[in-house]
A and B are shown apart, each in its own frame.
Chain A
Amino acid sequence: MNPVEDRVVRALRARAEEADMSQSTLNRNHSELMNRIAAGRSSRRRLLLAAAAAVVLLALGGAGLWVAFDRGQEGTADTVPAASDPGQERAEALVGGDFAEFKRTITEEELSAAGLGDLPSAEGRLNISGTRLNVWGSGGQKGLHSVTVLADGTWQIGPQNKEHSNFECTQTGTYTASLTGDVLTLRAIEDPCALRRAVLAGSWTG
C-alpha cells in the first residue's frame, strides 16, 4: 500500500468512527425502523379498506339505482356517499414509504401573512423518507420532523427532537395533504408554529 492509499484508509476509518453507534443510538434507530414498518402496514391496510369500501359503495349504489329503476323512479346521485379522495390516499402512501423530494418557492407574501414580514422569499425543499419529513429553505429555515397520518387522513407534523428542529417550535401541527400528479399540496388545519406553517403550507412539486 502506497502512502496515498495509507492516508485514504486512515481518513475513511476516522470518518466512519465519527458515527456514534452506542446502544441507545442502535435502539433509537431500531425503534424508528419498526415504527416505519408499522406505519407502512397501517397505510396499506387503510388503502385496502378504502378500496373495499369503494367496492361496497359502488355495489350498493348500483343496487340502489336498480331498485329505483325497477320502481319506475329516477335514482338520485346524492343518495350515494362521496368516494374517498384519491389525492389524499396517494399522499398518505408517501408516509412510511421511500425517499421522496418536493420543491416550492416560499413567497414573501406567505411569510408576511404568517406575521414574518421581514423574511425574504425562499426556495424550499421538502423530503419525506419513511415517517421523517425534512424541510429546508434558502432563507435559513429548516426543520427535521416526524409525520403521522391520523385516522381521518390528516397529517400530524411535529419536530423529531429539539436538537434537530430550528423552527423554534416544539408543538405539533395538523395539515391536510393531497398528491395530484407530482404536486403535493399541504394545507394547515392548525399549527401554532407560524414559521413552519408559512414554509409547509402550499403546493410542492416533486
Chain B
Amino acid sequence: VTTESGSTARAASGGGKASTDRLLSELFYAHFAELTRLAMCLVHDQATAEDVVQDAYLALYRHHGRLRDPDKALTYLRSAVLNRARSHFRSLRRARAAKVLHLIPSNQTEDAVELREETDDVFRAVAALPQRQREVVVLRYYLELSEAEIADALGIAVGSVKRHAHRALAALTHRLEVQV
C-alpha cells in the first residue's frame, strides 16, 4: 500500500461521498488484480473471482472506517475474499452434487490444455482439500504469508494454521505421489 493511499486516506477522513469514492477507487486499482488472482486459486473461473472481489470491495465500502487505514483495508479485503470464495465454493459443491451446474465453456485450445495438465493435477489436489486446509495452502504458497498473517486473515490461532498446513501437505504429498 503506497504512502499516497495513506495520505489520501487522511485527507478523506473528513468524510464525504466523493472522497470515500476516490479512496475506494485508489484501493481498487492498487489491489483488485492481486485479490482476483488470489480468488482464482479458490473458485472455478475468472467471472466468479471478479464477482467475489467486487463483493469484498462493496463490503469494505459499507464499513467506511476501514477505508481510512489502507493496511487494515487490505487485511479486511483479503478476509472478505476468502469468506466469499468459501460461500461460492460451497454453492459449487452443492450444485455439482445435484448435477445442475453448467460452467461457462472455456476458450482454451487443446495445446494450452495439454500444457496445463501438470498444474491442473496439482490444482485439483489443492481444490480437493478441506476448506481450511485449502485456504492455508493458498495463503502460504501463493501469497507467501507468514503463519501469523494467515492466522490473522482466517481469524484462527497460529497453532491451528500449523496444524492445517501440516495436514494439507501430508494429503497433497499422498495424492500427488499416488498420481505419479
Contacts of B104 in A (CB 8 A): 144, 164
Interface-lining segment among A18-26, A62-70, A182-190, A196-204: A18-26
Q: What is the minimal beta-carbon distance from A89 to any residue of chain B, in angstroms?
A: 19
Contact assessment for B84 and A9 in the assembled complex, using a CB-CB cutoff below 8 Å: no
Number of A-B contacts (CB under 8 A): 127
> 19 additional contacts, CB 8 Å, given A15-B40, A138-B99?
A8-B126, A10-B119, A11-B120, A11-B121, A11-B123, A16-B38, A18-B46, A21-B33, A21-B36, A29-B53, A30-B25, A30-B29, A30-B32, A37-B58, A40-B58, A98-B58, A130-B51, A130-B55, A138-B98
Contact assessment for B41 and A16 in the assembled complex, using a CB-CB cutoff below 8 Å: yes
For B, the interface residue count at a CB cutoff of 8 angstroms equals 52
Interface-lining segment among B2-10, B65-73, B150-158, B168-176: B168-176
Q: Flag whether A150 is at the interface (Cβ < 8 A).
A: no
Q: What is the minimal beta-carbon distance from B145 to any residue of chain A, in angstroms?
A: 13
Distance between Cα atoms of A8 and B123 in the complex (Å): 7
Contact assessment for B141 and A8 in the assembled complex, using a CB-CB cutoff below 8 Å: yes
**Known A9-B141, A138-B99: A16·B40 in contact at CB below 8 Å:** yes
Contact assessment for A137 and B57 in the assembled complex, using a CB-CB cutoff below 8 Å: no
Say what secondary structure dominates the interface of chain B. Answer: helix
Contact assessment for A19 and B58 in the assembled complex, using a CB-CB cutoff below 8 Å: no
Q: Flag whether A145 is at the interface (Cβ < 8 A).
A: no
Most buried by B among A11, A17, A25: A11
Q: Flag whether A118 is at the interface (Cβ < 8 A).
A: no
Q: What is the minimal beta-carbon distance from A76 to any residue of chain B, in angstroms?
A: 44
B20, closest chain A residue (CB): A37
Q: What is the minimal beta-carbon distance from A107 to any residue of chain B, in angstroms?
A: 15
Contacts of A12 in B (CB 8 A): 41, 123, 126, 137-138, 141-142
Interface residues of A (CB under 8 A from B): 2, 4-5, 7-21, 25-26, 29-30, 32-34, 36-37, 40, 98-99, 101, 122-125, 127, 129-130, 132, 136-138, 140, 142, 144, 164
Contact assessment for A19 and B49 in the assembled complex, using a CB-CB cutoff below 8 Å: yes
**Known A19-B49, A130-B54: A7·B21 in contact at CB below 8 Å:** no
Q: What is the minimal beta-carbon distance from A178 to any residue of chain B, in angstroms?
A: 24
Contact assessment for A11 and B36 in the assembled complex, using a CB-CB cutoff below 8 Å: no
Contact assessment for B40 and A19 in the assembled complex, using a CB-CB cutoff below 8 Å: yes
